[in-house]
Structure 1
Amino acid sequence: MRRFDPVPPQPRGNPLTTPPENHEQAHGLAVFLLDAPNLMTLAGLAAGLGAVGLCIQERFGPALALCLLAILIDQLDGRMARQRPDRPAAVGTFGAHLDCYADFVSKGVFPALMLLILGGFSWAVWLVAGMHLAAIAVRYSYEFVPSAPRRGLSPDYSILVFALLYLASPGWGPRYPVILAVLMIALAGLNLAPFSVPQLQGKALGAFVIGCLALMALLIGRP
């Protein structure tokens, strides 16, 4: 994945008399950030960051609800982008990278942090959390490989599984982080598995949205 463009050679002469180029750079960045789908992606990033903050406070129910909100926003910004055929290619490329970074917070960092806290930061949960983060990072990096096919189970479904597991967890005691760790290992493998899952459309997408909203309503009231 290309990260940085090479810096063009600077003109010789007195640096104090060289015309600055900051205005053009600022204008270009504003074009990227004021794009409606990219603004939605930033909202999803904020939801993911909120989930991380609530997780640190051990308010796992509301944290999972915010994580599900980030997933719904991710579904929305992608559809907004596809419905704008006149969108500049550079803005679309920027948005694709921004989307992956935002998703990494809600679908990578948040579940790993939740497992670490629930597992008491033991060496075993550190290994599982690292495995999960690596799987998510590899999956999102793979999406930028030219002509690469879609691969594995979407991390969106992993968050749904974690939410359902949390709702079923009262009374499990110390078994809960163990079960969560085992599921996280299995889902990490599915995220990189050599099969593709079609994108949600039509009734399937509607059922997915309704399911997320129902889970959010149940999770908000949970500690």
Structure 2
Amino acid sequence: MNNNPINIRVIPSLFTLANLLFGFLALALTMEGKYQLAAGLILLSTLMDGMDGKVARKLSVSSDFGYELDSLSDLVSFGVAPAILTYRSILQDQLGYWGLVFAAIFALCGAIRLARFNVLHISDYFVGVPITFAGGFMALILLFHGMLPWLIYAVLIPVLAFLMVSTFKVPKM
């Protein structure tokens, strides 16, 4: 019998699932009108997303399963959650259904970005802005919700959507 209380291969997935959980909770808090807290949870998701890959590489337990789970989690935490948060907190009142269109385009471009990333397997650079950056940046500026004009959000969300699906080479850090 194994004396280890947890299989070491599971540890990176726990960080990935924490990423997904925080994205899910951000969506729930958005529905409750707790926009600042939702934005904070999306930012916390970025921390978990950075940790899962580092831990997997450090423990030498990277897997296809972890890779796919990470993409699914990223779509929720950095595609859907920031899009819905931006829509509900700002764009819904300012643009109505056009705000919903902008938010949907952001989430859809995030999905395309992740699918392209999964099939290209390029290790030197990213093609297009990573969804983690785009969603994390939207969450970050949403923390300043009352201090910035609404038009900034209305312009930034489609610009970031475009940058995610662009063919710009973004260096990996």
> TM-score band, normalised by the shorter chain?
0.7 to 0.9
Which structure has more helix as a fraction of its residues?
2
Task: Indicate which of 33, 37, 56 corresponds to 2:12.
Answer: 37
Which amino acid is 1:92 matched to? S
> Which residue of 159, 163, 179 corresponds with 2:135?
159
Instruction: Output the CA distance in 1 between the equivalents of 2:59 and 2:83.
Output: 35
Choose the corresponding residue for 2:165, options 189, 192, 198. Answer: 192
Q: How does 1:82-161 map to 2 (within 5 A)?
A: 82-85=57-60, 87=61, 92-117=63-88, 118-120=90-92, 122-148=96-122, 150-161=126-137
Residue 112 of structure 1 aligns to a residue whose secondary structure is helix
How far off is 1:130 after superposition?
A: 1.6
In 1, are the aligned partners of 2:49 and 2:70 still within 8 Å (CA)?
A: yes
Larger radius of gyration: 1
> Secondary structure, in 3 states, of the residue corresponding to 2:59?
coil
Q: Is 2:113–2:130's contact at 8 Å kept on the other side of the alignment?
A: no
Q: Provide Cα deviations, 1:145-167, integer angstroms capped at 9, x if missing partner.
A: 15456311122322343244334
Q: CA RMSD in A?
A: 2.4
Q: CA deviation at 1:81?
A: 1.1
C-alpha distance in structure 2 between counterparts of 1:168 and 1:35, whole Å: 37
Whole-Å Cα distance in 2 between the matches of residues 78 and 124 of structure 1?
36
Paired residue secondary structure (1:197): strand
Give the Cα–Cα distance (whole angstroms) in 2 for the partners of residues 181 and 189 of structure 1: 13
1:168-179 to 2 correspondences below 5 Å? 168-170=144-146, 175-176=149-150, 178-179=151-152
Q: Please tell me whether the aligned partners of residues 82 and 139 of structure 2 are also in contact (alpha carbons under 8 angstroms).
A: no
Q: Deviations over 1:77-100 (max 9, x none)?
A: 011111233x3xxx7101111001
User: Which aligned segments of 4 or more residues in structure 1 are displaced greater than 6 angstroms?
Assistant: none
- Deviations 1:5-29 (Å, cap 9, x if unpaired)? xxxxxxxxxxxxxxxxxxxxxxxxx
Q: 1:99 to 1:147 in 2, by over 3 A?
A: closer
Segments of 5+ residues of structure 1 without an aligned counterpart are 1-30, 201-223
d(CA) in 2 for partners of 1:63 and 1:74?
A: 17
What TM-score, normalized to structure 2?
A: 0.82
> For 2:21, which of 38, 43, 46 is the aligned residue?
46
Change in Cα spacing, 1:171 to 1:142, as seen in structure 2 (3 Å) is: closer
Write the distance in 1 (CA, Å) between the matches of 2:153 and 2:57: 35
- Taking only the aligned residue pairs, the percentage that are identical comes to 30
How does the TM-score come out when normalised to structure 1?
A: 0.65
Letter in 2 for 1:187: L
Deviation at 1:50, TM superposition (A): 0.9
**Residues 171, 44 of structure 1: CA spacing in aligned structure 2 closer, same or farther, 3 A cutoff?**
closer
In the alignment, is residue 56 of structure 1 matched against residue 56 of structure 2?
no
Aligned to 1:209: none
Distance in 1 between residues matched to 2:26 and 2:139, nearest whole Å: 13
